[in-house]
Each structure stands twice: as structure tokens, then as C-alpha cells.
Amino acid sequence: MSDISIRIEGRAGRITLTRPKALNALSYDMCMAVEQALDAWRDDPAVSLIVIDAEGDKAFCAGGDIAEMYRTGTTGDYGYGRKFWRDEYRMNAKLAEYPKPIVSLMQGFTMGGGVGLGGHVRHRVVCDSSQISMPECGIGFVPDVGGSFLLARAPGRLGEYLGLTAARMGPGDAIHAGFADYYIPQDQWPALISALSDTGDIAALDQAAQTPPDSPMAAQQAGIDALFGGNGLTDLFVALQQADSDFAAKTLKTISRNAPLSMAVTLDMLPRLRAPGTTIRTALELEYRVSHRIMEHGDFLEGIRAAIIDKDRNPHWKHAPDTVPDDAVAQMLAPLGADTLGFEED
């Protein structure tokens, strides 16, 4: 497959995204190729660890390839999108639970589906160009691919801020927020990959790691916690409107462009995922409740139209920020019964 390169080099299983002109966006076939490689290498004694990287300097992976979801969804066919998400989420869970070390090298844009690919493995590397974000509320969706799990575990209310604003995390921010583990300048990555492949020993990461840059978000943590400390979307808008700061004004402007239903659902999801005993599977199952319904009952198709298809940047959302019905949020997050996400293969 020309969009992805899967091979064994030395002691390492290598997965490289090779769609740099498309910012390495994940197609369904790419997701399934990753899963097949994980299955093949799980019990292969020749593979000691796995390295996931991507070609090009602009992006590790800028998200999922959603144009086909729009094409099928606008005809009333929701099955394609549901299958894509169901199978992608299964792959995300395998990455998080994999018994062998996996290293992800996340340069440039790492957004949405890219976080699902690189953000759950045990050893996550960022560099100076890294820009990690969860931008789903801007297209009428919610943070998914297990991203809600990472957001819920971020310090304080940083998860709410990141999930609603799609703020981009540089290397220091990503490590502070729990989306990455190591800062290693990108020009050192070829030598790092070579050492990992030659030795099969993850210790090469600790030897290469450097002190990360400062995190601007860590410096803003107290202010973020205060603004996002309410109990829902209305509280948040009131807090931002009443706050007298440039940061609050910028944040208000940013979230005012997003789908109110998506933001309200996100604010309901994250506290649930902070409960004791929550796992990546808990988060993925909750996300899939939304995925299963979002094209039919949410703003997802309109969000894609405005951002990707017509590119008019003028979405017509179903609700205003102060009129999102509680029952609309509850409906999105209600259990799916027979359609509940399982993690078995069809």
C-alpha cells in the first residue's frame, strides 16, 4: 500500500505513514493495516518493539480521512462511518494495551486520528515542530479515538480547555498535559530509530531524551482551571464573558465558532472519564455512543461541509450555546444496547 510502509528492520517492527501531501491523514485501509501489523508482531520473537513514524516535516498525522464519511452520510448511509469508527477504535485500544513497547515519533501536526495513533502508546516522542490538538468540536464532533481519555487525565481542567478550543500543544505543553513523554530534537530521530532497531532495547529513548521546553499552558493552568471550573456550557460562557482578560476574550472568540452540542457533550464526557477504574476502553465505548449517532442527530455533516467540502467556514449549528437541550446531550451519550462498541473483530 502506497500510503503506509510496514516492515521489520532489525529488532523493530516499523510502521511509517507515507502520505505527506495529505498530511498523513488516516484512511480506513491504513487503520486496518496498522492493526494487522500489531496482530502479526504480537507474538513474533523477531520483533522486540515497534516504531511508528511518518514521512514529511509538516505532520505526523493530521487526522482521519473524513470526506468519504460525508459522501456516504449525506445519502443517509451511516453504516460506513460507524464501521470506520468501530474498527479504528479497536485499533486504538490495541495500541494502548499492546504487550511490547511501541514508540511514536510525532512531528508537526498531530490531530484527532493522529492522537489516536501516536498518543496512547507507551513511549511518545515530540520535537520542536510538534503541534498536538483535538479539533473535533470545530467540525461538529467530539474528541474521540481515545482522546477523551487523555483529556480527562490532563491536569486540572486543561482537558476541557484543550477539547473545546482545539488549542495546539507544543512539545512542552504536550508533555505537561500527558499527551507525550519525551522531547528529542527531530534531527536526532534517525539515530534513535537506528539504535532502537539495532538493539531492540527501549533504553535508547532515555539516553536521547532532553529537557523539554517550558509549557505555556502550565503557566496558564490556574487561570484555565478557574474559567473551566463550572458545570456545563452555559457556566463556561458566563465565566468567559465576565472575565476581564485577553486570554478569556480569545478563548470566548475561539469556542463561539464551535458546535454547541459537541461542546456540551464533551463537557459531560470528561467528568465521567475521571471516575476511578476508567480505562481506554471505557472512553472509546463512550465516544462510540456519540460516533454512532453524530451524523444522524448531531452537527457532524454540517461541520464537515463548512470546513472541508464547501470551505465557507460558516456552519449552521443546530443549537446556540445557551439553548443546548439537556436531553440532546443525554441522547448522544445514552447506552447503545445491541450496538454497543465491542472490541472483537467482525
For 199-220, letters b (16+ CB in 10 Å) and e give ebebebbeebbeebeebebbeb
pLDDT at 66: 87
In the chain, which residues have pLDDT < 70? 1, 346
Find the catalytic residue in 63, 64, 81, 119: 64
pLDDT at 53: 98
Write down the pTM of the prediction.
0.97
| CA–CA gap between residue 69 and residue 245 (Å, rounded) | 40
Cell output for 146 = 481515545
Q: What domains are there in the chain, each with its CATH number? A: 4-339 (3.90.226.10)
Find the catalytic residue in 53, 65, 144, 299: 144
CA-atom Rg of the chain in angstroms = 20
pLDDT tens-digit readout, 122-135: 999 999 999 999 99
**C-alpha torsion sign, points 110, 121, 220, 267:** positive
Is 322 marked active-site? no
pLDDT at 71: 93
Q: Measuring CA to CA, which residue among 1, 343, 153 is closest to residue 162?
A: 153
pLDDT at 65: 79
| CA–CA gap between residue 296 and residue 60 (Å, rounded) | 31
Is 113 marked active-site? yes
Find the catalytic residue in 13, 81, 112, 113: 113
Is 97 marked active-site? no
Find the catalytic residue in 88, 136, 160, 285: 136
DSSP tag of 75: T
Is 77 marked active-site? no
